[in-house]
Amino acid sequence: MAKGQHVVPNNGHWSVKRAGASRASSTHETQAQAIQAATKIARNQQTEVYVHGRDGRIRERKDPPPRG
């Protein structure tokens, strides 16, 4: 898994997982909610956000958002 925050499918929900972590940082009803949470974490850690599709494959990579 690439370094950063990953938005991954999880039993009908969407989870935010740090690269290499076995447990999710948070789980959300929608992918959009999970992306928002991952972006907030990524902003603080200056890491990227990787959005996975329902098949588990990375479909989008977002650069670290600016702090502010």
Structure confidence by residue, pLDDT tens digits, 4-62: 999 999 999 999 999 999 999 999 999 999 999 999 999 998 999 999 999 999 999 99
* Tally of domains within the chain: 1
Largest CA distance in the chain: 34
Q: Is residue 13 part of a domain?
A: yes
Q: Is residue 63 part of a domain?
A: no
Q: Is residue 9 part of a domain?
A: yes
18 DSSP β-pair partners? 5
Tokens 């447990």 sit at which residue? Answer: 23
Q: Is residue 20 part of a domain?
A: yes
Q: Is residue 25 part of a domain?
A: yes
Integer Cα distance of 43 and 12 in angstroms? 26
Q: Is residue 64 part of a domain?
A: no
Q: Per-residue confidence at 1, pLDDT binned at 50, 70, 90?
A: low
C-alpha closest to that of 12 among 54, 60, 59: 54
Structural domain boundaries, residue 32 = 5-53
Integer Cα distance of 9 and 31 in angstroms? 8
